[in-house]
């Protein structure tokens, strides 16, 4: 659990993934023949010398905020980096990752006691919120933070039950963890060259995967990410029938087909591997959202790509919730699929 905790708790807003990359490079160096960090910031571990090249991707970045302005009174306004629901922001504790050191802050707004009726009935937009860092004025605030500093949510790592974990940045640090464990558990000799890739800037356009896939030019690829379960109140079964604890989700299509539509051979490989090895799995048709697979499979002449996602409640907030059973089953499924890769 220490590695999982380290990955989830380290800061790495899109475009600022260096600390996550350092962990990925450190761990991949234990299992790969060669590890590079490309010009974009992706970490690429290479293992084996087989003719077939198989890429496995998990994104390192997390959603967050960025300092946009400092007011005369010393309050910080911000923009969102990645998809964040404004309703989740109010009163959250955050940490501004300033060059001079971490700065704590609280996201504030106009007090409810002073709001007019029409104001209280509306969602407060993020541009109307601010961060209080305790500065008395702009001059004092500017001694602590600068425009462009990334901001992360100040969250904890812990257990809700014996198998249920909560943490920040589970999207997609648990995918990064799975990637590292897959490389650890794979047999020493495979009839393929495996590329384990920690990608950058997935949350803001799937950018790192596009760059890495172009460089590697793989014959096949897998993406590991998170997905939305429907086992909480207010989510209809028709919106999502996935459950945490019921196994990883094998994706058929993302964003109603605007994202990846998984290659039939790749999804059948995953489904048949799960059935043969009695690994629990679920089938995922995603109405909104995409993964790195959506960029990888369009690279060059096209790359047959499969996606395995770990069901996670409350993704794109300061606390995601997932099951260790699903994470372990994801690792097991990928190891078995790669060990018996017969396409």
The predicted-structure confidence for 247-283, as pLDDT tens digits, reads as follows 999 999 999 999 999 999 999 999 999 999 999 999 9
Look over the chain and give the mean of its residue pLDDT values, rounded to a whole number: 95
Per-residue pLDDT of 195-218, as tens digits, reads 999 999 999 999 999 999 999 999
- The residues, ordered by sequence, that sit 6+ positions from 175 with a Cβ below 8 Å of its Cβ are 58, 59, 224, 225, 226, 310
Q: Which residue has the tokens 């989740």?
A: 88
**287 an active-site residue?**
no
Q: Is the pLDDT of residue 122 over 90?
A: no
The CA-CA-CA angle for residues 186, 168, 13, to 5°, reads 85
Q: How confident is the model at residue 343 (pLDDT cuts 50, 70, 90)?
A: confident
Q: 202, 203, 239, 287: which one is catalytic?
A: 202
- The residues, ordered by sequence, that sit 6+ positions from 193 with a Cβ below 8 Å of its Cβ are 46, 47, 48, 49, 50, 51, 52, 53, 54
CATH class of 64-153: mainly beta
188-225 as b/e: b if 16+ CB within 10 A: eebebbbbbbbbbbbbbebbbbbbbbebbebbbbbbbb
Residue ranges, CATH 2.40.30.40, the chain: 64-153
Q: Which residue has the tokens 């003719």?
A: 51
Token pair recorded at residue 180 = 């590292």
Q: What pLDDT does residue 119 have?
A: 73
The three-class DSSP label of residue 60 is coil
The pTM score is 0.95
- Average confidence (pLDDT) over 318-338: 97
Per CATH, the architecture of 2-62+168-339 is what?
3-Layer(aba) Sandwich (3.40)
Token pair recorded at residue 142 = 């500017």
Residue ranges, CATH 3.40.630.10, the chain: 2-62+168-339
Dihedral class, residue 114 (left if φ above 0, else alpha if ψ from -120 to 50, else beta): alpha
Flag the least confident range among 63-67, 112-116, 248-252, 332-336. 112-116
Q: What residue ranges in 245-342 does DSSP mark as E strands?
A: 249-253, 282-285, 305-313, 320-323
């Amino acid at each position: 659990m220490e590695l999982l905790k380290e990955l989830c708790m380290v800061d790495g807003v899109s475009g600022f993934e260096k600390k996550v990359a350092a962990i990925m490079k450190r761990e991949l160096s234990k299992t790969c023949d060669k590890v590079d960090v490309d010009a974009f910031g992706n970490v690429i571990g290479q293992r084996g010398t087989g003719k077939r090249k198989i890429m496995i991707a998990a994104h390192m970045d997390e959603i967050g905020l960025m300092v946009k302005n400092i007011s005369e009174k010393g309050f910080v306004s911000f923009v969102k980096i990645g998809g964040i629901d404004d309703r989740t922001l109010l009163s959250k504790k955050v940490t501004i990752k300033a060059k001079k050191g971490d700065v704590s802050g609280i996201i504030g707004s106009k007090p409810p006691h002073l709001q007019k009726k029409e104001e209280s009935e509306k969602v407060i937009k993020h541009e109307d919120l601010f961060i209080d860092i305790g500065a008395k004025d702009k001059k004092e605030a500017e001694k602590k933070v600068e425009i462009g500093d990334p901001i992360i949510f100040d969250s904890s790592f812990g257990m809700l039950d014996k198998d249920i974990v909560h943490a920040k940045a589970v999207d997609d640090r648990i995918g990064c963890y799975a990637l590292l464990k897959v490389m650890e558990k794979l047999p020493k000799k495979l009839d393929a060259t495996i590329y384990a890739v920690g990608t950058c800037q997935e949350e803001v356009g799937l950018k790192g995967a596009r760059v890495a896939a172009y460089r590697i030019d793989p014959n096949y690829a897998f993406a590991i990410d998170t997905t939305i379960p429907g086992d909480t109140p207010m989510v209809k079964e028709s919106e999502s029938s996935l459950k945490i604890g019921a196994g990883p989700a094998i994706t058929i299509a993302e964003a109603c087909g605007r994202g990846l539509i998984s290659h039939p051979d790749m999804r059948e490989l995953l489904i048949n591997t799960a059935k043969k090895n009695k690994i629990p799995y679920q089938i995922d048709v995603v109405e909104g959202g995409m993964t790195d697979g959506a960029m990888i499979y369009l690279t060059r002449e096209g790359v047959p790509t499969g996606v395995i996602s770990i069901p996670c409640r409350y993704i794109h907030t300061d606390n995601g919730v997932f099951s260790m059973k699903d994470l372990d089953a994801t690792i097991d499924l990928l190891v078995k699929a790669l060990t018996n890769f017969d396409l």
